[in-house]
Chain A
Amino acid sequence: MTETTILAAYGLLVMLTILLQVLGGMQQLSVGYLLSSRDETRTVDGMTARLKRALDNSITAMALFAPAILLLVFLERTSPATLLAAQVFLIARIVYVPVYAFGIPVVRTFVWLAGFAATAILYFLAL
């Protein structure tokens, strides 16, 4: 497993989160509304709302993680340390989605912190 493989796997994780969130939306908002232009605002609640917030956070995390990996590969600075940090990031982000979906407090924040710190380390290693 290389850093780029981890990045591709993370892309698939985000897409899986999109699909999960759509499934919840189908139940709460009806398929007809989802297929429409959504001109009237309807909100979701419970697990679907948490999945939506988890998705928003995953996209922010991706916007930070992807350039770090691409920089490291481009600069040929990949090392066992960068691989470990990328693995920590991926595992933390995989755990983050169900932890948020089930509304587990505190743990979610620490899991987020692990992914965030791993990304910061990647940038430091790229410098």
Chain B
Amino acid sequence: MTPELTVLTLAALLQVVIFVLYAIPANRELGPGYTMSARDREPSNSLSNKTARLGRTMDNTFEALILFGIAATVITLSNQSTGYTTLLSWVFLVARVAYIPAYALGLRPHRSLIWAVGFTATVLMLIAALV
């Protein structure tokens, strides 16, 4: 297993963590009666700001995971794993971990900068796979 795949596994587990971080307060605030329903109507209780932020964090984490998943797998399958791509994948993971509290606490503009770090690391990995 390449280091990129190790990081990818950890990134997938991070998705599980953010899911739990969001699902627990969301169920408490909306009520299990609503969350277990087919959600045909808007919920009668609204999410707190912090929980809504965690929901948006989860969506963004998922998008980042899809792109990073491609980068890590392409690098591995084409035998192009180097110290450089390993470093990039760790930078990605650290940035995505930091992104969660940055969003939940509403840190501005840190959240956007942290997002840009993870995004750039993924772009550089994809470019490294092409050249």
Contact surface of A with B, Cβ cutoff 8 Å? 2, 4-5, 7-12, 14-15, 18, 34-39, 59, 62-63, 66, 70, 73-74
Chain A residues with CB under 8 Å of B63's CB are 18, 59
Write 11 A-B pairs (CB below 8 A) sorted by A numbering: A8-B71, A15-B122, A15-B123, A18-B63, A34-B112, A35-B108, A35-B109, A37-B49, A39-B49, A62-B66, A66-B70
CA distance A95 to B106 in the complex (A): 37
Chain B residues with CB under 8 Å of A11's CB are 67, 70-71, 74, 122, 126
In the complex the two chains form, is B130's CB within 8 Å of A9's CB? Answer: yes
Take A15-B67, A39-B52, A62-B66 as given contacts and tell me if A8 and B106 are in contact as well, using a CB distance cutoff of 8 Å: no
CA distance A9 to B74 in the complex (A): 11
In the complex the two chains form, is B71's CB within 8 Å of A37's CB? Answer: no
In the complex the two chains form, is B73's CB within 8 Å of A12's CB? Answer: no
CB-CB contacts of B68-102 with A at 8 A, as 1s and 0s?
A: 01110110011000000000000000000000000
The contact of A7 among B56, B74, B123, by CB within 8 Å, is B74
Take A9-B130, A15-B122, A59-B63 as given contacts and tell me if A4 and B49 are in contact as well, using a CB distance cutoff of 8 Å: no
The contact of A8 among B70, B108, B111, by CB within 8 Å, is B70
B22 on the A face (CB < 8 A): no
Chain B residues with CB under 8 Å of A73's CB are 77
Which of chain B's residues has its CB closest to A37's CB?
B106
Residue of B49, B73, B74 contacting most chain A CB atoms (<10 Å): B74
Residue of B52, B73, B106 contacting most chain A CB atoms (<10 Å): B73
Which of chain B's residues has its CB closest to A5's CB?
B130
CA distance A38 to B127 in the complex (A): 31
B129 on the A face (CB < 8 A): yes
The contact of A14 among B56, B67, B108, B112, by CB within 8 Å, is B67
In the complex the two chains form, is B70's CB within 8 Å of A62's CB? Answer: yes
Chain A residues with CB under 8 Å of B111's CB are 35, 37
In the complex the two chains form, is B122's CB within 8 Å of A74's CB? Answer: no
Which of chain A's residues has its CB closest to B71's CB?
A11
CA distance A36 to B111 in the complex (A): 8
CA distance A35 to B111 in the complex (A): 7
Chain A residues with CB under 8 Å of B78's CB are 2, 4
In the complex the two chains form, is B123's CB within 8 Å of A74's CB? Answer: no
In the complex the two chains form, is B66's CB within 8 Å of A66's CB? Answer: yes
